[in-house]
Amino acid sequence: MLQQAAMTESKAKTEMVTGADLLLEALEKEKVEVIFGYPGGAVLPIYDKLYDSKILHVLPRHEQGGIHAAEGYARISGKPGVVIATSGPGATNIVTGLTDAMMDSLPLVVFTGQVQTSVIGSDAFQEADVLGITTPITKYNYQVRSIEDIPRIVKEAFYIATSGRPGPVLIDIPKDIAASVSKPPEEQEIKLPGYQPTVQPNYLQIRKLSEAVSRARKPVILAGAGVLLAQASNELKEYAEQQQLPVIHTLLGLGGFPADHRLFVGLAGMHGCYASNMGLSECDLLINIGARFDDRLTGNLQFFAPQATVAHIDIDPAEIGKNVPTAIPVVADAKEALKELIKQNGKPPAHLEWLEQIHKWQVEYPYHYGESDTLKPQKVLEMLYEKTAGDAIVVTDVGQHQMWAAQYYQFKKANRWVTSGGLGTMGFGLPASVGAQLADPDRCVIAVLGDGGFQMSTQELTVIKELNLPIKIAIFNNLSLGMVRQWQEIFYDKRYSHSKIPIQPSFVKLAEAYGIKGYEINNAEEADVLFEEVLNSREPVLLDIRIDPDENVYPMIAPGKGLHEMVGVKP
Amino acid sequence: MKKIISMTVMNRPGVLNRITNLFSKRNYNIESISVGLTEQEGISRITCVIHVESDREAEQITKQLNKQIDILKVTDISDQAIVARELALIKVLSTPQTRNELYALIEPFRAAVIDISKDSLVIQITGESDKIEAFIELIKPYGIKELARTGTTAFPRGTQKPVNPQKTYSIV
């Protein structure tokens, strides 16, 4: 009798679940493979459950590193990156990553702990107004007010983060709700009447665009990250080939169209190639697919594509017409729109002369750099490209090295390129490479970093060692914040205010301190030998590459100038 | 130019914050905002009066608002036939000598005196913003002690004049 009573009691107990249980169950339902998280007081109930979870948990050494790793993971895997941070400082430390993901449309689902409900608003220990802080930098955010809502909120968060124009979604969970106990709640459906992204294009607009292509004499495609997010690179290739359209890329769009294709023009924008920027300046039809006409791409809008009829395919209607007046708006997923365009099978434009013109620009004004005794960063990137057959994942930080990587590493496939474009976040590269490697464990991942950005995230070397991720950390060391130095040289009369950082630790010894092999590279011969040796190894390596400290990124468009006003086009 | 934007929103915590946040983030100029419940449970109506430089800017605001997940519908009703009303409470100085004069002003505006004290009156006036402006100008010389306005709330009339084609900014 007593035994029976004890049994029913234990049965009743097992039927009860905590908020943290519900949370982990919901994450498993979403097939989450990896969580980038950092524990703390307010998330202790969640971490207690994670102790028994099968989901891989990666512990960055700073929450900012965690969220950048999640961004790298999302960019390469196409799946949402999942982050956990504690309340207060944990939450405020992920603000940069949230903004970065928002700007570059990366799907993230971020959980923050919150102080218990009864003390919210009382300036409690480690309390921060996370909803208030993150409202402008998330696609949506929630604070859980009742344990029954957890499954539905998590489901909605994943749906919002990954559908339409992807972006970060944050869920703030008070500690008492994660710890509270309840019967398993009834399943609730997603309730989002105000959120219905348009995926299918309007047929009439597709017809209009198709006709405009047939009539065009100087058409170009400008392909942005929308092509990658929609996994539409095959469709882009098919459509470009069907209509013989030259393809120009934005910085974030690289890899959407193979760089060795004869219709590939190159990178456009502030440090884009001559052919791309002239192509945009002189085209009569500009088909923007999944790019947002960012100011670093367009230069001075007054001079941007002055003769062009602009068509814009974007899943976010607010991007259409935001910066550039648009004659043919197509609100749709890039893949669906391209499929419809291919189906139209319109008459290709008569534009042989135009293609020849673009080709001529490409041949006459390629990227160039001078030869000297010092090691040129461009040369290093060319070597990295050759040694990896253009198939490595390249993750960059922000600055000169980022632009050189975009110029000289020729991406042939999608999902090989991770960079912080919109926000331009220094310190992004090293942690992002952790996420990229986890998303594609067998591929060679090269973290192309500057010496400045590397020092903003150095602590993440531990994670690389801990997980033995075979990342090749290539520090392009010019003993300065190179892009700042370049601008000071050109626009501020060589007054190098706080941009030179000659006092540095030995990066090689630093790597060794973390248990990672480190090498210094001073010339092309050393680079050649070492690259051969380390690029295929299955362990992490740090390369301190001493590049020419005076090298600048060219071509360049000065701020306020138009795309046609490039400098540094000729050697 | 002035635009009136009417939207229905999910009545959730933080929704007004999302909207005002959006206005400040995008550097939009807002004149008034009024919020209240609607006939449907869980749905509120927000009416914003904004100042914009161009139609394109108004279109951009509408689209950005539309993107908000808690916002169900956004309509720029500036060019439609609408009913728009605002309420103002005005506490104005009044002595026994001026009281009659004030009453004479109040009447044609169909305003009402809702409180009287020894040296002041509280006047309640409803109407379109222009009417309220005009009334305030008129009453100013008597000495306004306090003033509170609700901001405009509005929606389209039941019947739209056919000559005034409805202007929509939707791209779809």
User: According to the model, what pLDDT value does residue B168 have?
Assistant: 56
Delimit the CATH 3.30.70.260 region(s) of chain B: 2-76
Q: Which amino acid is at A322?
A: K
φ/ψ of residue A562, rounded to 5: -90, 170
Nearest to A321 among B17, B21, B59 (CB): B59
Q: How confident is the model at residue B163 (pLDDT cuts 50, 70, 90)?
A: low
Check pLDDT > 80 for residue B136.
yes
CATH superfamily of the A203-364 domain:
TPP-binding domain (3.40.50.1220)
The answer to whether domain A18-182 and domain A203-364 are alike in fold is yes
List chain A residues with pLDDT less than 70. 1-14
Mean pLDDT of chain B: 90
DSSP characters over B74-141: EEE-TTS-EEEEEEEEEEEE--HHHHHHHHHHHGGGT-EEEEE-SSEEEEEEEE-HHHHHHHHHHHGG
Question: Tokens for B111?
Answer: 């305003």
> A446: which strand partners?
A394, A472
Question: In sequence order, which residues have a C-beta less than 8 Å from that of residue A12 and are 6 or more positions away?
Answer: none
Q: Give the C-alpha separation, A239 to A237, whole Å.
A: 6
Cβ-based contacts of B69 with chain A (< 8 Å): 139-140, 160, 192, 194-195
Cβ-defined contact of B60 to A322 (cutoff 8 Å): yes
Cβ-defined contact of B17 to A320 (cutoff 8 Å): no
Residue A86 C-beta-side C-alpha neighbours within 13 Å: 16
Nearest chain B residue to A140 by CA distance is B69
**How far does A475 lie from chain B, in Å, by closest CA?**
36
The catalytic residues of A are: 63, 125-126, 175, 483
Q: Which amino acid is at A149?
A: D
Q: If we measure between CA atoms, which residue out of A139, A114, A141, A117 comes closest to residue A128?
A: A114
A537-A58-A66 Cα angle (round to 5): 100
Cβ-defined contact of A135 to B68 (cutoff 8 Å): no
User: According to the model, what pLDDT value does residue A571 have?
Assistant: 80
DSSP characters over A421-479: -SS--TT-HHHHHHHHHHHSTTS-EEEEEEHHHHTTSGGGHHHHHHTT---EEEEEE-S
* Residue A142, burial from CB neighbour count under 10 angstroms (0-12, 13-18, 19+): buried
Cβ-based contacts of A202 with chain B (< 8 Å): 172
CA distance readout (Å), A35 to A59, A81, A103, A112, A469:
9, 7, 22, 13, 16
Cβ-defined contact of A143 to B71 (cutoff 8 Å): no
Instruction: Tell me the per-residue pLDDT of B110-128, one tens digit each, with 9 for 90 and over.
Output: 999 999 999 999 999 999 9
Taking domain A18-182, whether its CATH number is 3.30.450.20 is answered by no
User: According to the model, what pLDDT value does residue A314 have?
Assistant: 98
Nearest chain A residue to B172 by CA distance is A331
Size of interface A-B (CB pairs under 8 A): 49
User: According to the model, what pLDDT value does residue B171 have?
Assistant: 58
Question: Tokens for A58?
Answer: 């990666």
Question: Tokens for A544?
Answer: 């301190």
Question: Tokens for B76?
Answer: 């720029």
How far is C-alpha A300 from the geometric centre of its chain's CA atoms? 25
User: What is the ipTM score, two decimals?
Assistant: 0.89
Q: If we measure between CA atoms, which residue out of A97, A177, A193 comes closest to residue A144?
A: A177
Nearest to A135 among B18, B60, B63 (CB): B18
| Proportion of chain B in helix, strand, coil states, percent, rounded to 5 | 30, 40, 30
Q: What is the dihedral angle through the alpha carbons of A489, A491, A497, A500, rounded to the nearest 10 degrees? A: -30
> A313: which strand partners?
A289, A330
User: According to the model, what pLDDT value does residue A570 have?
Assistant: 86
User: According to the model, what pLDDT value does residue B159 have?
Assistant: 85
φ/ψ of residue A276, rounded to 5: -65, -50
CATH of B2-76 among 3.30.70.260, 3.40.50.12280, 3.40.50.10860, 1.10.150.130: 3.30.70.260
User: According to the model, what pLDDT value does residue B165 have?
Assistant: 52
Delimit the CATH 3.30.70.1150 region(s) of chain B: 83-153
φ/ψ of residue B96, rounded to 5: -55, -30
Query: CB B94: neighbour CB atoms within 10 A?
Result: 22
Q: Which residues of A355-372 are buried (b: 16+ CB within 10 A; e: fewer)?
A: bebbeebbeebebebeee
Cβ-defined contact of B21 to A135 (cutoff 8 Å): yes
Give the helix ranges, DSSP H, for A318-391.
334-344, 352-364, 377-387
Evaluate whether A172 touches A143 at the Cβ level (below 8 Å): yes
- The domain ranges of chain A are 18-182, 203-364, 377-546
* Residue for token pair 């590459």: A545
Quote the DSSP letter at residue B45: E
Q: Which residues of A149-163 are buried (b: 16+ CB within 10 A; e: fewer)?
A: bbbbbbbbbbbbbbb
Q: Give the C-alpha separation, A535 to A523, whole Å.
A: 17
* Residue for token pair 């039809």: A285
User: According to the model, what pLDDT value does residue B29 have?
Assistant: 85
Cβ-defined contact of B69 to A140 (cutoff 8 Å): yes
Quote the DSSP letter at residue A173: E
Q: List the single best residue of A195, A204, A209 to mutate versus B (max B Cβ within 10 A).
A: A195
Domain B83-153 class in CATH: alpha beta
Cβ-defined contact of A136 to B21 (cutoff 8 Å): yes
Instruction: Tell me the per-residue pLDDT of B78-118, one tens digit each, with 9 for 90 and over.
Output: 988 999 999 999 999 999 889 999 999 999 999 999 999 99
Question: Tokens for A359?
Answer: 């080709």
Cβ-based contacts of A117 with chain B (< 8 Å): none
User: According to the model, what pLDDT value does residue B162 have?
Assistant: 62
Evaluate whether B146 touches B90 at the Cβ level (below 8 Å): yes
Taking domain A377-546, whether its CATH number is 3.20.10.10 is answered by no
Nearest to A194 among B60, B64, B69 (CB): B69
pTM beyond cutoff 0.95: no
